[in-house]
Amino acid sequence: MKLFRRWSQRLLDGIKVPPPGPREKEDRLHLADFLGLEETFGITFDPTGCSELQIDESQIDRATRILNKHEAVDEVAQIYIDRVQKFRRNEERSIDVWLFIVPEMVYERCRPESKRTGLDLIEGKVSKKQKTRTAMPLFETLPDFDTSVENIFDDVPDFRRRIKAEFLSIAPTQILRETTLDPYAFLNSAGYPIRKAQDGATIGWNIATGLYYKSQPKPPWRLSAVRDGVCYIGMVYKNLPNSRDNHVCCAAQMFLTEGDGVVFRGANGPWKTDEYEYHLSADAAEQLLRQVIETYEDLHDRPPKELFIHGQTSFDDAEWNAFCKAAPPGTNVIGVRIKSTTGDAKVFRDGDYPVIRGTALHLDDRNAYLWTSGYVPQLDTYVGPETPNP
């Protein structure tokens, strides 16, 4: 908390970009001084008036050593959750944003790819190798049979996802690593920071933008140049962990000119048809789009003139006919498939930098390449390791 208190004052006062290093350009347009919360976003806060909750680091250390990683991550998250719930039971004060300042061990040990090599692990409630729920159909029919201990296998072992999911019904959260706030307080045996962090001004921009966005009652920005009467939705699919029937959840997010995004959860079902292909049944597709259109009509008192459906998978005939059936007369439905390429197409330009971000190459009336990463003239740089793929 001392680290964040010091950072709080820097967020209020502003942070300058450090001088360029020996191999850096004099004019680094991708960097900008952070002028302070009030100057930049018109908001402020009193660092001395923030509620502070302390957690014993030895508790966290012990929890991260539990043999089964799913159980370890859940136990660590539960330590933080229990402390917050105790505060909420005993205090009337409401919190706008919960900030979690976590030690580096949480980042190192509580992610899906964490190895925890060399740690002395301790026994927990479940075996080390268990990664999914145990199938016990006969016992599950018993009224007093408790399977809640296996809820930890309903998602990947990820501290960040666990906290974000738990606090969806409480308040927005922001998770910060101690090493982000003060890299030089955590040195390796050679005397260098254990991780390389961004410059202070960029960190200030990242923290402040998150605080600004999460502390507002409505999104403080919106899509620009959206034509009147046009509705955009994006479709995503998520494999359901431990689904014995390999069912998948489909969801759609509607983007509005007001800046709000409305999320619709469709029906679960056997929508996965190939490794990276998902297709709804006709009934599920029609029902999902009717939900979208009804919500749009509630907000605008009329159906959309155009409805763009974006997805990473293709739409088969049954899906597409159902989408068109769900749309009222006068609504034009357009499907857009966004698919990453794997380097089968490259565009090169003269000079030191690759193709400009936003470049589009039309192949025919139905297909095109779009470069969503590349050289940014306003910043005079390209953030990437190699020539970008469309």
Whether residue 258 is predicted with pLDDT greater than 90 in this model: the reply is no
* Maximum average pLDDT range among 83-92, 126-135, 346-355: 83-92
Q: Are 166 and 243 in the same domain?
A: no
Per-residue pLDDT, 140: 60
Quick one: average pLDDT of 204-226? 88
Integer angstrom CA distances of residue 282 from 233, 266, 320: 18, 12, 8
Indicate the pLDDT class of residue 67, thresholds 50, 70 and 90: very high
The residue with tokens 């297709």 is 279
Looking at the 3D structure of the chain, how many domains does it have?
2
Positive or negative CA dihedral for 165, 169, 174, 176?
A: negative
Indicate the pLDDT class of residue 224, thresholds 50, 70 and 90: confident
Indicate the pLDDT class of residue 379, thresholds 50, 70 and 90: confident
Q: Are 235 and 198 in the same domain?
A: no
- Coil, strand or helix at 282: helix
Q: Is residue 307 part of a domain?
A: yes
Q: Are 201 and 267 in the same domain?
A: no
Q: Is residue 181 part of a domain?
A: yes
Domain boundary among 337, 364, 382: 337
Range of weakest confidence among 143-147, 259-263, 277-281:
143-147
Q: Is residue 272 part of a domain?
A: yes
φ, ψ at 237 (rounded to 5°): -125, 145
Per-residue pLDDT, 141: 63
Q: Is residue 368 part of a domain?
A: no
- The rounded mean pLDDT for the chain is 90
Whether residue 76 is predicted with pLDDT greater than 80 in this model: the reply is yes
Q: Are 63 and 165 in the same domain?
A: yes
Q: Are 181 and 259 in the same domain?
A: no
Q: Are 243 and 272 in the same domain?
A: yes
φ, ψ at 60 (rounded to 5°): -65, -45
- Residue 267's contacts (CB-CB under 8 Å, 6 or more residues apart) are 250, 280, 284, 287, 288
Instruction: Please name every residue paired with 362 in a beta bridge, in sequence order, or none if there are none.
Output: 368
In whole angstroms, give the CA distance from residue 389 to residue 267: 34
| pLDDT single digits (tens) 296-327 | 999 899 999 999 999 999 999 999 999 999 99
Q: Are 259 and 176 in the same domain?
A: no
Whether residue 228 is predicted with pLDDT greater than 90 in this model: the reply is no
Range of weakest confidence among 150-164, 212-226, 367-381:
212-226
Domain boundary among 168, 188, 214: 214
Are 53 and 59 within 8 A, CB to CB?
no
Domain boundary among 161, 189, 214: 214
Range of weakest confidence among 81-95, 113-127, 197-211, 342-356:
342-356
Quick one: average pLDDT of 236-240? 86
Q: Are 184 and 125 in the same domain?
A: yes
Q: Are 209 and 236 in the same domain?
A: no
Instruction: Please name every residue paired with 269 in a beta bridge, in sequence order, or none if there are none.
Output: 248
Per-residue pLDDT, 46: 92
Q: Is residue 381 part of a domain?
A: no
Whether residue 295 is predicted with pLDDT greater than 80 in this model: the reply is yes
Positive or negative CA dihedral for 351, 353, 358, 364?
A: positive
CATH number, domain containing residue 238: 3.30.420.10
Q: Are 210 and 255 in the same domain?
A: no
Q: Is residue 349 part of a domain?
A: no
Indicate the pLDDT class of residue 257, thresholds 50, 70 and 90: low
Quick one: average pLDDT of 266-270? 88
pTM for the model stands at: 0.83
Instruction: Residue 38: give the domain boundaries.
Output: 2-214
Q: Is residue 348 part of a domain?
A: no
| pLDDT single digits (tens) 1-50 | 788 888 999 999 999 999 998 888 888 888 999 999 999 999 999 998 89
Q: Are 177 and 245 in the same domain?
A: no
In whole angstroms, give the CA distance from residue 306 to residue 303: 9
Q: Are 26 and 136 in the same domain?
A: yes
Q: Is residue 44 part of a domain?
A: yes
Quick one: residue 91, left, alpha or beta (phi over 0 = left, psi -120 to 50 = alpha)?
A: beta
| pLDDT single digits (tens) 78-128 | 999 999 999 999 999 999 999 999 999 999 999 999 999 999 999 999 998
Per-residue pLDDT, 259: 61
